[in-house]
């Protein structure tokens, strides 16, 4: 780890100006990803603006109109086990609990979860080229060990995936990210928050320099009756998703009124396909329909050899997740983390 200075910000304004006043600064939340990347010398900030004393950002509170605001500094554990989240947004609760470990979830913050970097092996390996880590050096994954890499929305410069579970649910729930920066406050629709690699894979998201996530707003519709987070991985626990699917449905009998779903483990951002969602709406739930939808989602997929299995796995995961969500009689109980294991 290189040398750095550290400031404990006491207020959001102070954090934003402290960041702006230090070249090479980074915001420090729970640190579960950033400190690890600093130990690996992948990230080398020379100043940290610690947000850990911003208790105002640690709240989870009702929004007018029936939504819920998740403070950026609330931990993943406190969010997943928040009674309002468990009852109104069980998809989110279950999805958070499918990721990481209890220790990490007790440290990791909601804002930080959105900002975690890819787990592509080459991003961490300083001895190999990686356009995300060192722009212009090349992508080692395209012709390398890319089993964990993406098959949708990839580019010639990067096939890395966004690793978060939580973000897959937030995409399906159409959350809104609230940020504050040197130019004031703004909101970013979740689908616009993460970006595809294109020719600038070093940029994971659309935050401007110095902008700080202050909260994540959930809309009133939480799809608490018909939902699923299906996570497929190499171990039953504590492993990143090879493919995951978050589904939220509004059903009328066997008819799908509203459908939202997103995929993890397949792209540089949680993957939503709104045309595929529309194919479900107004239709009677059936395996044939689900297979057509799954085929639509992956029609533009490109496999790179070791990761090509994700295309068929992804299709089958969509079919199974939709089937599980349509057949749910009631929300899962509070120990739903066991139900994410297929």
Partner 1 sequence: MSLHFIQEPLDHTPPAIAPTQPVTLHINGEDHTIQIAPWTSLLDALREYLDLTGTKKGCDHGQCGACTVLMDGKRINSCLALATVYQGKQITTIEGLGGEDDLSPLQQAFIDHDAFQCGYCTPGQICSAQGLINEGRAKTEDEVRELMSGNLCRCGAYTNILSAVMEVLHDGQVVVDNGTLVTIPMQPTQSSSVN
| Interacting residue ranges for partner 1, rule: CB under 8 A | 1-6, 8, 23-24, 28, 31-32, 35-36, 38-40, 44, 46, 48, 50, 52, 77, 81, 100-104, 106-107, 126-129, 134, 137-138, 237-238, 334-335, 337-338
Q: Which is nearer to partner 1, 299 or 333 (CB)?
A: 333
Buried b (16+ CB within 10 A) or exposed e, 295-322: ebbbeebebbeebeebbebbbbbbbbbb
Q: Which is nearer to partner 1, 52 or 221 (CB)?
A: 52
User: Which three-class secondary structure state does DSSP give residue 321?
Assistant: helix
Asked whether the beta carbons of 171 and 272 are under 8 A apart, the reply is yes
Q: Could you tell me which residues come within 8 angstroms of residue 261 by beta carbon, excluding any fewer than 6 positions away?
A: 172, 245, 246, 247, 248, 272, 276, 277, 318, 321, 322
Characterize the bridge pairing of strands 68-71 and 176-181: unpaired
Q: Which is nearer to partner 1, 135 or 219 (CB)?
A: 135
Asked whether the beta carbons of 168 and 263 are under 8 A apart, the reply is yes
Q: Which is nearer to partner 1, 298 or 337 (CB)?
A: 337
Beta strands in the chain (DSSP E): 5-8, 25-28, 47-50, 60-62, 68-71, 176-181, 184-189, 212-218, 226-232, 243-252, 255-264, 271-272
Asked whether the beta carbons of 31 and 1 are under 8 A apart, the reply is no
Strand order in the sheet with 5-8: 5-8, 47-50, 25-28
Q: Which is nearer to partner 1, 104 or 289 (CB)?
A: 104
Closest separation in Å from C-beta 109 to partner 1: 12
Closest separation in Å from C-beta 51 to partner 1: 10
Closest separation in Å from C-beta 39 to partner 1: 7
Closest separation in Å from C-beta 210 to partner 1: 16
Q: Which is nearer to partner 1, 75 or 161 (CB)?
A: 75
Closest separation in Å from C-beta 77 to partner 1: 7
Q: Which is nearer to partner 1, 23 or 330 (CB)?
A: 23
Q: Which is nearer to partner 1, 35 or 196 (CB)?
A: 35
Closest separation in Å from C-beta 338 to partner 1: 6
Q: Taking the alpha carbons of 217, 219, 223, 227 in that order, is the dihedral positive or negative?
A: negative
């Amino acid at each position: 780890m290189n040398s750095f200075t550290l400031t404990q910000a006491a207020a959001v304004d102070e954090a934003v100006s402290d960041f702006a006043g230090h070249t090479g600064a980074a915001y420090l939340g729970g640190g579960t990803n950033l400190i690890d990347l600093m130990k690996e010398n992948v990230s080398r900030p020379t100043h940290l603006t610690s947000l850990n004393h911003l208790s105002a950002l640690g709240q989870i509170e009702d929004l007018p109109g029936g939504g819920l605001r998740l403070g950026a500094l609330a931990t993943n554990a406190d969010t997943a086990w928040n009674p309002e989240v468990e009852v109104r947004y069980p998809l989110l609760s279950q999805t958070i609990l499918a990721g990481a470990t209890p220790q990490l979830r007790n440290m990791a913050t909601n804002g930080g979860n959105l900002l975690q970097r890819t787990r592509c092996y080459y991003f961490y390996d300083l001895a190999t080229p990686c356009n995300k880590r060192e722009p212009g050096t090349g992508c080692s994954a395209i012709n390398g060990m890319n089993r964990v890499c993406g098959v949708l929305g990839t580019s010639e410069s990067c096939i890395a995936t966004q690793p978060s579970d939580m973000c897959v649910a937030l995409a399906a729930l159409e959350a809104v990210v609230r940020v504050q920066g040197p130019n004031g406050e703004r909101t970013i629709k979740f689908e616009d928050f993460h970006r595809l690699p294109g020719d600038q894979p070093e940029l994971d998201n659309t935050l401007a320099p110095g902008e700080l996530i202050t909260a994540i707003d959930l809309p009133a519709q939480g799809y608490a009756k018909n939902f699923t987070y299906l996570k497929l991985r190499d171990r039953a626990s504590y492993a990143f998703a090879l493919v995951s699917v978050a589904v939220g449905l509004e059903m009328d009998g066997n008819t799908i009124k509203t459908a939202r779903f997103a995929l993890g483990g397949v792209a540089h951002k949680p993957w939503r396909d709104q045309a595929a969602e529309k194919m479900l709406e107004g239709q009677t739930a059936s395996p044939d329909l689900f297979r057509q939808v799954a085929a639509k989602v992956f029609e533009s997929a490109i496999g790179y050899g070791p990761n090509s299995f994700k295309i068929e796995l992804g299709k089958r995961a969509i079919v199974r997740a939709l089937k599980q969500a349509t057949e749910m009689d009631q929300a899962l109980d509070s120990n739903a983390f066991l139900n994410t294991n297929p």
